[in-house]
Amino acid sequence: MTSQNRRIPGAARVVLTASASALLAACVTSAPMDKKAAAPPTHGSFGVDTAGMNTAVAPGDNFYRYVNGTWLEKAEIPADRSSYGMFTKLAEEASRRTRGLIEEAASANAPAGSEVRKLGDLFASFMDEAGIEAKGLAPLQPELERIAAITTRKELSAALGDTLRADVDALNTADVSTDRLLGLWVTEDLNDPSRYAAYLLQGGLGLPDRDYYLVDNARFTEVRQKYQQHIAAMLGLAGISDAEARAKRIVELEREIARVHWNQVDTQDVAKVNNPWPRSELATRAPGLDWDAYLEAAGLAQQKEFIIWQPSALTGISKLVGSEPVQTWKDYLTFHAIERAAPFLPKAFVDESFAFTGRVLTGAQQLSERWKRGVGVTSFAMGEAIGKLYVEKYFPPEAKAEADKMVRNIVKAFGQRIDSLAWMSPETKARAKEKLGTLQVGIGHPAKWRDYSGLEIVRGDAYGNAERASRFEYRRNLAKLGKPVDRSEWFMPPQLVNALNSPQQNSIIFPAAILQPPFFDPNADPAVNYGGIGSVIGHEIVHSFDDVGAQFDARGKLANWWTKEDAEKFKAASQALVAQYNAYRPLPDLTVNGELTLGENIADIAGVAIALDGYRLSLGDKPAPVLEGFSGDQRFFLGFGQIWRNKYREPYLRRILMTDGHSPGEYRASTVRNIDAWYQSFGATPGQTLYLTPEQRVRIW
């Protein structure tokens, strides 16, 4: 769960204010429920996989293993995965469903130019291994020839500009790095959310983060060595001479780029990143890159202002373009062109790319089946076209009164929680309630769908289709500039298992695919649903009030709405949470980064708290029943702990600890140690591992 920014681990928006939740009845949908003949829950007898628990573990010592211990012992990470848990389980199911929809499209003999025909042709082109093998490197050859023809720094700058894509999400820590020289983000202006801004972000790295280049220990030294070998292998496959020497120079260049990069924590500091620069000052503030040539090639020649996310990084990267040998940059462009094209090239390129990007960087042991990769390629190119088919088949329009009530109760609970905060002044409370009242919620799918009529798909041209889709999406983003903000835009297709908060729009969305067991099961006990999807809903609501979201006002503008005293109290509580998470050590040499994960941890704690409050509101004045010996509150917490089941391969765990704003699943589940009701439910006592005194428990919202 994250933000546009903040996605879980991250299309028109349906509007919901605190008083307008009836709109959700038309949007919160799932399989129709027949009260007379209700099916049993997918998990266990009431919605929790009790067989996956390990009740020999005391909840107060390790709540995560109490809920998930037997599952953790038995579950195996699939060979083609770097991790496995509830999110990946649902993603696999969504992928299988999507495959069926695409294959139906491929065999439908639909009219030329129709969305269904394009989907079928896209998928079929990628699945045609024999055709791809026969073409060899030919589809990429024109691009390699254009790079080889570069002789001047102006031509180099133009070539670099031509690679720019709108491929980053600056408020999502897992999506702020790009192998292209810079990244572009087109979204609401931090300072005026009624208009779009063009944000330029640091890029240029082939490894996941600057620390992969700069940390000098045995682990990262080995990764860099294997990266250099991988570059040489890819160049060699493409018939590039002197591959080893070129690979060495490319890694050295990227290491210089890494030296000027900002770290992940600074990159998430919205007070530091809000740097509007006039277009006319780029050449003087960041000399080296020929900005006229770069922006002309990027289609941004007429843009009068940019918001520079990491100014010193932009300056440093631009300087390297002007100082490093043109030939080194040509080698760099050549390798990255091959690497990006690898999925659409012959098997030798696919296998070499996976050997490094999969096996070395994530620990995955086996390349995913081709159909899975084909689903990913097709979803990237035409996500909402697939989403339309997905919704028609798997997300019927029948409203769920229970789901509507759930959202209403959680929003109401958060409002009551704001009212009851002892540490917050009436002035700040009023602003917080105002912001809650303008919150937009989109559930399931967009109210209007994206238009793909301008995207050209050619059957049999896998590489060309991917390139045209990439440029189509880029042009779609460029077209926003200078136009009124479309507050109905979605940022995720319905078949994606995820959720999102956009602080600039003060909105949250929940795609259809996440509204499945164990997150939401219409036949499960309501307590479990509140602990599952309810905590996710609460989490995304709270992102509008976490360390980043709290800096945006009710209109989505970066503006202070806190009194000085309240802001200091909020910061003090946040720092206590940072210290709590800094103490978690998933690997012998690596801890959770409490600063990097702060926003997600705030959202987890408060999200659970308001979801529990919402569950209690749903009961009215009636007591919750006891089921199989578990009280209502206990079942709520079991539902919450169950959704964070996850197992990781070591390279991937290391990667997310360094680059992702989300804590690993075990520590997300352990956030219950800050909730008083959890102690009352499970009897955690002093001396147990998770026990915190009432004074130590972090209370923010």
**Is residue 12 over pLDDT 70?**
no
**Is residue 25 over pLDDT 90?**
no
Output the pLDDT for position 38: 65
Q: Are 466 and 69 in contact (CB under 8 A)?
A: no
Helices 632-643 and 598-618 pack at an angle, to 10 degrees, of 150
How confident is the model over 342-349, as a mean pLDDT?
Answer: 98
Token representation of residue 590? 């690596």
Output the pLDDT for position 5: 45
Q: Which residue has the higher pLDDT, 108 or 90?
A: 90
Output the pLDDT for position 177: 73
**Is residue 174 over pLDDT 90?**
no
**Is residue 556 over pLDDT 90?**
yes
Output the pLDDT for position 404: 66
Tell me the sheet residues that pair with 29: 399
Output the pLDDT for position 397: 65
How confident is the model over 465-494, as a mean pLDDT?
Answer: 95
**Which residues 6+ apart lie within 8 Å of 164 measured at CB?**
180, 181, 182, 183, 184, 294, 297, 298, 300, 474
Q: Are 457 and 467 in contact (CB under 8 A)?
A: no
Token representation of residue 352? 């070499």
Output the pLDDT for position 19: 31
**Which residues 6+ apart lie within 8 Å of 296 measured at CB?**
158, 161
Q: What DSSP line would sit under 285-305, residue for residue?
A: HSTTS-HHHHHHHHT-TT--E
Q: What DSSP line would sit under 439-470, residue for residue?
A: -EEEEES-SS----TT----TT-HHHHHHHHH
**Is residue 353 over pLDDT 90?**
yes
Output the pLDDT for position 221: 97
Instruction: Report the C-alpha gap between 509 and 505 in whole angstroms.
Output: 11
Where do the domains of the chain lie, and which CATH numbers do they carry? Answer: 2-28+57-96+399-453+487-682 (3.40.390.10), 140-344 (1.10.1380.10)
Residue type, 484: P
Q: Which residue has the higher pLDDT, 523 or 671?
A: 671
**Is residue 181 over pLDDT 50?**
yes
**Is residue 196 over pLDDT 70?**
yes
Average pLDDT over all residues of the chain = 92
Predicted confidence (pLDDT) per residue in 508-531, tens digit: 998 999 989 999 998 899 999 999
Q: Which residue has the higher pLDDT, 697 or 178?
A: 697
Predicted confidence (pLDDT) per residue in 442-464, tens digit: 888 998 999 999 999 999 999 99
How confident is the model over 576-592, as a mean pLDDT?
Answer: 97
**Is residue 266 over pLDDT 60?**
yes
Output the pLDDT for position 17: 32
Predicted confidence (pLDDT) per residue in 408-446, tens digit: 899 999 999 999 999 999 999 999 999 999 998 888 899
Q: What DSSP line would sit under 86-141, residue for residue?
A: HHHHHHHHHHHHHHHHHHHHHTS-PPTTSHHHHHHHHHHHHH-HHHHHHHTTTTTH
Q: Which residue has the higher pLDDT, 104 or 397?
A: 104
How confident is the model over 264-273, as a mean pLDDT?
Answer: 93
How confident is the model over 596-615, as a mean pLDDT?
Answer: 97
Output the pLDDT for position 169: 86
What sign for the dihedral angle of Cα 89, 94, 100, 103? negative
How confident is the model over 100-127, as a mean pLDDT?
Answer: 92
Model confidence at 402, in pLDDT bands (50, 70, 90)?
low
Token representation of residue 133? 């093998």
Helices 632-643 and 63-74 pack at an angle, to 10 degrees, of 50
Q: What DSSP line would sit under 300-332, residue for residue?
A: -TT--EEEESSHHHHHHHHHHHHHS-HHHHHHH
Output the pLDDT for position 34: 39
Token representation of residue 187? 């979204």
Asked if residue 518 has a cis previous peptide bond (ω within 30° of 0), the answer is yes
Q: Which residue has the higher pLDDT, 12 or 429?
A: 429
Q: Are 171 and 4 in contact (CB under 8 A)?
A: yes
Integer angstrom CA distances of residue 81 from 273, 356, 361, 369: 34, 14, 12, 11
Model confidence at 407, in pLDDT bands (50, 70, 90)?
confident
**Is residue 3 over pLDDT 60?**
no
**Which residues 6+ apart lie within 8 Å of 476 measured at CB?**
none
How confident is the model over 50-57, as a mean pLDDT?
Answer: 98
Instruction: Report the C-alpha gap between 209 and 262 in whole angstroms.
Output: 10
**Is residue 21 over pLDDT 90?**
no
The share of the chain scoring above pLDDT 70, in percent, equals 93
Chain centroid, CA 551 distance in Å: 21
Token representation of residue 499? 């959720």
